[in-house]
């Protein structure tokens, strides 16, 4: 999986999301060249069907990580479910 493939699949399944929008990325000083992708497991508070778990459940995701920090020191990763390419927003560390 490459960052471009992840972007394409995410936009196909979630066209209303602005994560990969050109203007959004430009605002934060980011480009697709600054991203890498790896497979990992995270603890998320919501399942695929939207059920809430206070202690979290393990979810197989694609981690979209930044190679270098961008504006305002942003360097965190974004996580996308491998099942439907939706963004996982509630991660338990």
**What pLDDT, in 10s, does the model give residues 27-49?**
989 999 999 999 999 999 998 88
Query: Does residue 93 have a pLDDT over 80?
Result: no
Q: How many domains does the chain contain in total? A: 1
Average pLDDT, the chain: 92
Give pLDDT, residue 47.
Answer: 87
Domain that holds residue 74: 3-92
Give percent above pLDDT 70 in the chain: 100
Give pLDDT, residue 69.
Answer: 93
What is the per-residue pLDDT across 10-27, written as a single tens digit (0 to 9) for each?
A: 999 999 988 899 998 999
The closest alpha carbon to 78, from 21, 31, 19, belongs to: 19
Instruction: Write down the residue that tokens 């934060």 correspond to.
Output: 28
Confidence of residue 67 (pLDDT cuts 50, 70, 90): very high
């Amino acid at each position: 999986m490459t960052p471009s493939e992840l972007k394409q699949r995410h936009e196909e399944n979630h066209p209303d999301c602005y994560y990969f929008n050109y203007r959004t990325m430009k605002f934060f000083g980011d480009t697709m060249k600054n991203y890498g992708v790896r497979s990992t497991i995270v603890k998320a508070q919501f399942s695929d069907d939207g059920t809430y778990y206070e202690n979290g459940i393990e979810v197989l995701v694609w981690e979209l990580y930044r190679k270098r920090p961008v504006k305002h020191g942003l360097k965190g990763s974004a996580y996308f479910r491998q099942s439907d390419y939706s963004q996982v927003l509630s991660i338990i560390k």
